[in-house]
Amino acid sequence: MRPFLLLFRTWLLEVAADELEISTQKVIALLDEIANAASRKKQLKSDTALQAEKLQSVLDYYKKGTLLGFRSKLGKLQRLPEDIKQALHGQLAWSKAIEIAPVKDVVIRSQLLNWAIEANPSIAQIRQRRKELERTAKANQLQTDDPLTKVRFYKGLEKVSKSDAWSNPELQDRIENLIQEIENIFHIKIS
């Protein structure tokens, strides 16, 4: 999506809100209500139906399709991660953003995003690169996530909790230091 179209969609939402004399949040709620009624095959209340007609007339004026189509595109836009939204302002096409957006791993998404902006690859190339990066990340995770180490640790905790060392005053400082080290390694606070 060209940056103009991205800004236009959000601007159109503001125009609709102004036309209906409600907030943009209420326009979004109205679009949701219209979609829910359509999916349940129910009639809209008369006041909601009037607002829906006004909203459709705004979309008609700017030749922006149906209420449900506008809602769908607006929803996709709102759900994009912030880094992807920023890249849409002149750096990345909408179709490429949609291909990168589902990546949950921030590091992988950042790598893909930077590469897509710099190299301007096709959507197929982005899809292929995404799969490769995710596969590599998964393989690295499997190598570092040794289940035997976890099992050994958990079994050790059971033994540690029953140990007489807890009541030995000479070991209290060492135990406290070990707890502190575990907290630092796992980025947690044991309280």
pLDDT(8) > 80: no
* pLDDT above 90: percentage of residues in the chain: 17
E strands, the chain, where? none
Reference 33, options 17, 45, 21, 23; nearest CA is 45
pLDDT(2) > 60: no
The model's pTM is: 0.50
User: Which range has highest mean pLDDT (70-79, 137-146, 155-164, 165-174)?
Assistant: 165-174
pLDDT(133) > 50: yes
pLDDT by residue (tens digit) across 30-42? 999 999 898 888 8
- What integer pLDDT is reported at residue 143 of this predicted model? 62
Q: How far apart are CA 121 and CA 81, in angstroms?
A: 20
Write down the mean pLDDT value for the chain: 84
Structure token pair of residue 176: 């406290």
Q: Which residues are CB-neighbours of 70 under 8 A, at least 6 positions away?
A: 9, 12, 31, 59, 64
Using alpha carbons, list the distances in angstroms from residue 28 to 80, 115, 117: 16, 34, 31
Res. 146 pLDDT band, cuts 50 70 90: low
pLDDT(7) > 90: no
DSSP per-residue letters across 13-38: HHHHHHHHTS-HHHHHHHHHHHHHHH
Q: How far apart are CA 60 and CA 52, in angstroms?
A: 12
Domain ranges for the chain: 3-79, 82-144, 152-186
User: Which contiguous run of DSSP H or E holds residue 188?
Assistant: none
Q: Under the phi-then-psi rule, with left for phi > 0, alpha for psi from -120 to 50, and beta for the rest, what region is 20? A: alpha
Where do we find the tokens 């995404």?
Answer: 130
pLDDT by residue (tens digit) across 55-111? 999 888 888 888 888 888 778 777 888 888 888 877 888 788 889 988 988 888 999
